[in-house]
Amino acid sequence: MSFQNFFLSLLLNLLKRTIMNIGDKAPDFLGKDENGKEIHLSDYKGKKVVIYFYPKDSTPGCTTEACNLRDNHSELIKQGYAVIGVSVDNEASHRKFIEKNDLPFTLIADTDKKLVQEFGVWGEKQMYGRSYMGTLRTTFIVDEEGLICKIITPKEIKVKEHAAQILG
């Protein structure tokens, strides 16, 4: 991609990027899970919902984060939370990730990038001096009424302690 095309793509993305804020109503339709089943926030009525966005299945940081949430899942459930992970990986990738790591929660396959853009977590990233677009690791806590009550930003997330950050 040429610099001009990259810059134009970045500019267009920023213009259409919406960012969810504390107090905003989260969208009801979240997407399809690892089995192609439609997932709606209203399915979790009366529960607090952790919607955590992560860059890619089976990468070191994402696996560490998912396993931390898995290892603390019973405490999250006990405290009234449901956990939903979201990445732009496809359903087959999610099924493999779930099976390999024995994950007890739903993963949404946001292959069309609709949800990452709606939440404002699709943005410019840099690695090894190269810029590219990707998912910014971010977690949203949605209360029992469907309102965002807490946001853990990319700079705040500690993948080895993520459940404690949610419960804290």
Contact 139, 52 (CB under 8 A): yes
Which segments of the chain have a pLDDT < 50?
Answer: 14-17
Q: Closest Cα to residue 51, out of 61, 38, 40?
A: 40
Q: pTM of the full predicted structure?
A: 0.88
Strand residues in the chain grouped as ranges (E): 29-32, 38-40, 48-53, 81-87, 106-109, 122-127, 130-135, 138-142, 148-152
Walk me through the domains of the chain, giving residue ranges and CATH numbers. 3-167 (3.40.30.10)
pLDDT at 16: 46
Residues taking part in catalysis: 62
Token pair in block for residue 85: 């992970």
**What is the C-alpha to C-alpha distance for residues 47 and 79, in angstroms, rounded to an integer?**
9
pLDDT at 19: 79
**What is the C-alpha to C-alpha distance for residues 143 and 150, in angstroms, rounded to an integer?**
9
What angle, 0 to 180 degrees and rounded to 10, lies between the N-to-C axes of helices 60-71 and 91-101?
Answer: 60
pLDDT at 126: 87
